[in-house]
Structure 1
Amino acid sequence: MDHSRHVSRVIRRSPQAVYGYAADLSHLQEWAAGVVAGSVTVLDDTRVRASSPMGEVLITFVARNSLGVLDHTVVLPDGSKTENPMRVVKHPDGAEVIFTLRHAGRPEADVAADAAAVAADLARLAELLDG
């Protein structure tokens, strides 16, 4: 059984430009409303504490890298953790941002809502960068 769903968006900028913007944690509030719905405190180069639709969360990204990897872990208010693979890859029209939702055992309606939220976040990111 498939326990993953990929949500992606092509952005008409170089992969380096998209990655650089998305990896700058001070920009999260501008485009990631699915996980950041209010204040954001950047703790260091890889961690932020943020108000979210689920309550206060801690988000930890992998270290900046040359591969376009933006994987991150979200620690929810109840202490549970969600691992979120995310990549920026080269695309013939610029860059493609790919977010993988893990959804084993979750109701399809919840997965669909999460996928819609991620798609909206990626659309905002594209709007900001496509300019």
Structure 2
Amino acid sequence: MTAELTDGGTRHVSRLVARPWREVYDYAADPRNLVHWASGLATATVTPVGDGSWLASSPFGEVTVRFAGPNDLGVLDHTVRMPDGTDVLNPMRVLPHAVGAEVVFTVRQRDMSDEEAAADAATVAGDLETLRGLCEG
């Protein structure tokens, strides 16, 4: 697992998963599974809104999540509409790897201290570890 700080306050957090990349992608792309692995985004319920978006109970309050459409490239980018109406794009990929898959999540530092950004990246790292455990199960 890595969490490297790059210029501009961006961290790429990754985790290797010993399962075929497509299986990992299919599991992570299903918003109903967020409550099982994405504690930084969905804590209790995820409900379809009807326009391809999902309403999620999160640590920040109710948010709306919209994933990129199904694709064969492993792109799991998702936009989160925060309770204040701000849209936050979260780049995410599931890549083929020699061990099966590599999941990469890009964490961007937005209006927060370096310590808060580090804590955010640590939460993502923990979530990816949970995803790994569920997929390798």
Tell me if TM exceeds 0.5: yes
* Residue segments in structure 2 that go unaligned for 5+ positions in a row: 1-6
Match of 2:67 in 1: 61
Of 9, 29, 50 in structure 2, the residue corresponding to residue 3 of structure 1 is: 9
Of 46, 52, 65 in structure 1, the residue corresponding to residue 58 of structure 2 is: 52
Distance 1:51 1:104, change over 3 A: closer
Q: Which amino acid aligns with 1:85?
A: P
Match of 2:134 in 1: 128
The answer to whether structure 1 residue 32 and structure 2 residue 7 are counterparts is no
The answer to whether structure 1 residue 87 and structure 2 residue 93 are counterparts is yes
TM-score, structure 2 normalization: 0.90
Q: Which moved more, 1:97-106 or 1:47-56?
A: 97-106
Q: Which amino acid aligns with 1:37?
A: T
Off by >2 Å, runs of 4+ in structure 1:
42-46
Percent of aligned pairs sharing the same letter = 49
CA contact (8 A) 1:46 1:62 kept: no
Match of 2:109 in 1: 103
Report the secondary structure of 2:41's partner residue.
coil
Q: Deviations over 1:77-120 (max 9, x none)?
A: 11111110000001111100000011155310111111011011
In the alignment, the residues of structure 1 paired with residue 51 and residue 115 of structure 2 have an alpha-carbon distance, to the nearest angstrom, of 34
* Residue segments in structure 1 that go unaligned for 5+ positions in a row: none
RMSD: 1.4
